[in-house]
Copies of this chain bind each other. A is one copy, B any other.
Amino acid sequence: MSSTSTPARGRRRSEQTRLAILTAAYELTTEVGYPDLTIEGIAARAGAGKQTVYRWWPTKADVLLEALALKADLKVSTADQGSFEAELDAFLQDSAALLAFPGVAPVLRSLMAEAQRDTDFRRRFRDGFLSKRRAALETIVERAAARGDKPDRLSGAFAADVVFGLIWYRILATERLLDQDDIVGIEQLLTGRPGKE
């Protein structure tokens, strides 16, 4: 779509359309489920053209992974709170709340299944979603290292393996989400301290 508006306004409008498409994709999946989600349906709900969606994303799974990456960025805090334990707790509480949000766990389940079927999407899912979530947790561990309250022997990469391993295993294998006992358990495990019991 060519535009006669100024570049600045064009960028604004294009960013508004992008966000409308991401929101439409997420809302529509929670209503109809991943198998019945279509690019046509997403475009219609966003008031955009089908070609506009395809210009930015190759598949419906790619729209959803970006929608969820954006949601996670907005909902899961990595802000400096003065201590590793406080930041880990905020990260886990926010992550558990996001997972409990209607539709989030089923969409994640569908995307991970898609990533096993389609190796190209697996790479895009890893780079566009999984790695970003790991990086978010790793910033907390790195800040703790700089502050000086990082537990001995804990690396950001291993912390991410443990935390996201447990979260994904729950989503895919047990269908149980994270509860407060899990959060306390992870905190005890990673900090080596009793945690809030």
A35 to B112, CA, bound (A): 17
Give me the interface of A with B, judged by CB distance under 8 Å: 109-110, 112-113, 115-117, 126, 130, 153, 158, 161-162, 164-170, 172-174, 182, 185, 188-190, 192, 194
Q: For A168, list chain B residues within 8 Å (CB).
A: 165, 168-169, 172-173
B172 touches A161 (CB 8 A): no
A174 to B182, CA, bound (A): 23
State how many angstroms separate the Cβ of A174 from the closest Cβ of chain B: 7
Interface of A is mostly: helix
A115 touches B172 (CB 8 A): yes
Q: For A161, list chain B residues within 8 Å (CB).
A: 166, 169-170, 174, 182
Other than the given A112-B116, A113-B116, 17 more pairs (CB < 8 A) read A110-B116, A115-B173, A126-B174, A153-B188, A161-B166, A161-B169, A161-B170, A162-B162, A162-B166, A164-B173, A165-B166, A165-B170, A168-B168, A169-B169, A172-B172, A189-B189, A192-B192
A97 to B190, CA, bound (A): 26
State how many angstroms separate the Cβ of A68 from the closest Cβ of chain B: 14
A164 to B168, CA, bound (A): 10
Q: For A153, list chain B residues within 8 Å (CB).
A: 185, 188, 194
Q: For A170, list chain B residues within 8 Å (CB).
A: 161, 165
**A169, A185, A189: most-surrounded residue (chain B CB, <10 A):** A169
